[in-house]
Amino acid sequence: MERYPHLKQTDYEIYDLIRLQTLYESTTLKMIASESYVSFSVLEACGSILTNKYAEGNVGARYYEGNELVDKIETLAIDRAKQLFHAEHANVQPYSGSPANHAVYRALLKTGDKLMGMPVPSGGHLTHGWKVNFSGLDYVQIPYSPDPETGKFDMDQIRQTAKKERPKMIWVGATAYPHKIEYKDFAEIAEEINAYLVADIAHINALIIAGVHPDPVPYCDIVSSTSHKMLRGPRAGFLLSKVEDRFQSTYCPEHKLNLAQRIDRAVFPGLQGGPHLHIIAGMATAFHEAMMPEFKNYGVQIVKNAKKLAELLLAKGYRLAGGGTDTHLLILDFRNEQFTGKEAAKALAKSGIIANFNMVPGDPRSPFVTSGVRLGTQSLTAMGMNETDMEKVADWIHRVCRNITRIDEESPNIRQEIADFCSQFQIPGIYPYRPITRHVPIK
């Protein structure tokens, strides 16, 4: 079956690279904690003619004509987002997670204001005030980090810092924190110092939908998210919020806009022009899929798989940052090893296990090599793997890490075993268009 007949005819180079990437993604274990597999339906919506349309503005108030149908599409995306997360307000226009977070700053702060967030090496995102990002250049980050001993948040420490520094906003959310986040505890601190509380759930939204992670929506002024990663929608961002601003009277009296209006204005015309309607349609489809009972099972199974993998790796003598996981995410801690996180990630990739090197709490090595590898179970779960399959995954990880010095000899065998194993699964968005089942080395 030919999947891209037109592309194949008109632009063979791009066609062939997409074909090879499909092959690569269907013969390797996708363990990058921020990726997953979208469905055929999401791909169809994103590949639709909606990419042709301009619709600057918001539903019912556009600067271009011909948007009656498009308004219905964006309304569906908004309503589904609100329903899915029980939110009062949703904006689905941000082009990705970083632009969504940028809009949060524009809606809540003035340049030079203080915010609390985690530095990147501690597991925070670039947009939480990191020095090379707009958020660190234009605003002042007051850093907080998980305790280097326990790998968990020390709420007393965070409260002390907040009271001393009095930031106007607190980010809570991470790219590499394997534990549950208690938003209620952060909300108490934000309340005490009159700060906005903003959750960034890009990594864990499906766990919240499945009810296996605390829900930030009741406790936070704004909740920011991506729709790719474990939610399995297109690459985009969205913002959920309360309608009213808790600090309206004191904070932004000149505008008389409520919180929802300020967010909408920050996104458009503050930061963006025309919304990507094909992507918004794909997002609506992904939200629809996330309302199905199977999606809850997926969220539950992600955590079961991660806990099982953690248990198996611990039993083989590995160390995990924070001692384990209660999300999708594990961070292998190689501080005691001769090899670095980067060397381990490269050896794993050569063998067909695709992950990334990552700092561990208290990491003595530089961020360019690190002592950790971050793993996520959401893509394997989307393929249909369960706890039994984690035994194979743990064995392969162990075989790679045991053989790092002679990985060139060992990796081709592991790579082929993994390719054969993957061929047993019906991968969303790929099956039955799998190009071939044998793995072809990348030249």
Ligand X SMILES: *Cc1c(COP(=O)(O)O)cnc(C)c1O
- Contacting positions for ligand X (CB under 6 A): 34, 96-98, 101, 125, 127, 173-175, 200, 202-203, 226, 237
- Identify whether 438 is a catalytic site residue: no
Smallest distance from the beta carbon of 181 to ligand X, in angstroms? 11
Q: Is 196 a residue of the active site? A: no
Closest among 63, 70, 157 to 118, alpha carbons compared: 157
Instruction: Kindly tell me which of 234 and 352 has the beta carbon lying closer to ligand X.
Output: 234
- Between 34 and 141, CB nearer to ligand X: 34
Cβ 395 to ligand X shortest distance, Å = 29
Least separation in angstroms between residue 310's CB and ligand X is 20
- Dist CA 116 CA 162 (whole Å): 8
Question: Cβ neighbours of residue 21 under 8 Å, at least 6 residues apart?
Answer: none
- Cis amide prior to 432 (ω within 30 degrees): yes
Contact 67, 55 (CB under 8 A): yes
Active site residue 138: no
Phi, psi (rounded to 5 degrees) for 75:
-60, -40
Q: Given the complex with ligand X, which of 57 and 146 has the nearer CB atom?
A: 146
Does 229 participate in catalysis according to the annotation? yes
The residue with tokens 């690569």 is 24
By beta-carbon proximity to ligand X, the closer residue of 358 and 411 is: 358
226 is known as an active-site residue:
yes
Of 36 and 96, the one with the shorter C-beta distance to ligand X is 96
Give me the least distance between CB of 203 and ligand X, in Å please. 5
Which residue lies nearer to ligand X by CB, 177 or 219?
Answer: 177
Q: Which of 56, 138, 185, 395 is catalytic?
A: 56
Considering 19, 30, 62, 229, which one is annotated as catalytic? 229
The least distance separating ligand X from the CB of residue 8, rounded to whole angstroms, comes to 30
- The minimum distance between CB 156 and ligand X, in angstroms, equals 24
Catalytic residue among 4, 24, 54, 431: 54
Residue nearest ligand X, CB atom distance: 97
CA–chain centroid gap for 146, Å, is 19
Choice among 22, 127, 175, 226 that is catalytic: 226
Q: What does the angle CA 39 – CA 44 – CA 46 come to, to the nearest 5 degrees? A: 95
Distant-in-sequence, close-in-space partners of 376: CB < 8 Å, separation ≥ 6: 31, 32, 33, 34, 35, 230, 306, 328, 329, 330
Nearest to 228 by CA among 237, 217, 239: 237
Buried b (16+ CB within 10 A) or exposed e, 262-290: bbbbbbbeebbeebbbbbbbbbbbbbbbb
Q: Is 24 a catalytic residue?
A: no
Cβ atoms within 10 Å, residue 302: 27
Annotated catalytic residues are: 54, 56, 200, 226, 229, 235
